[in-house]
Chains A and B, each alone.
Chain A
Amino acid sequence: MFSKEELNKFYRYCIVLTGEENSASDLLQCCLEKYVRQDTAGVCNLKAYFRRMIRNQFVDDQRKDGNQHQYEFDEECIALQIDTKSLDDIIIEREQVELILTMLTPHEREILFLWAVEGLTVQDISHDLGIPKGTLLSRLHRLKLKVKNKLGAKREMGAI
Chain B
Amino acid sequence: MTKTLKENIKDYYGGYNLSTRQLRQMQNIQTRLRASYYRRLKYPGAWATVASVAVLLVFSFVFFNTTSRRAYFTELITEIANNHNKNLDVEIKSNSLEDVGRYLSRLNFPLIDSARIPRDAWELIGGRYCFLKGQFAAQLKLQNKMNRKIYTLYQLEKPTDITAVSGFSENYVNGVKVNLWIERGLVIALAGES
Whether a CB of chain A sits under 8 angstroms from the CB of B43 is no
- In contact, B1 and A29 (Cβ under 8 angstroms): no
Q: Are A93 and B2 CB-contacts (below 8 A) given A4-B23, A36-B29?
A: yes
Give the CA-CA distance A16 to B41 in the complex, in Å: 35
Q: Are A7 and B5 CB-contacts (below 8 A) given A15-B13, A37-B33?
A: no
- In contact, B5 and A88 (Cβ under 8 angstroms): yes
Give the CA-CA distance A15 to B14 in the complex, in Å: 11
Given contacts A1-B30, A94-B11, 9 further A-B contacts (CB under 8 A): A8-B23, A32-B30, A39-B37, A88-B6, A93-B1, A94-B1, A94-B8, A101-B12, A112-B9
Q: CB-CB contacts of B1-36 with A at 8 A, as 1s and 0s?
A: 111111111111110111000110111011101100
Give the CA-CA distance A8 to B26 in the complex, in Å: 10
Place the interface of chain B in its size category.
Answer: 20 to 34
Q: Are A91 and B3 CB-contacts (below 8 A) given A8-B18, A33-B33, A101-B12?
A: yes
CB distance from A100 to the nearest CB of B (A): 8
- In contact, B6 and A92 (Cβ under 8 angstroms): no
- In contact, A36 and B13 (Cβ under 8 angstroms): no
- Cβ-neighbour of A90 out of B1, B4, B13, B41 (below 8 A): B4
- In contact, A11 and B17 (Cβ under 8 angstroms): yes
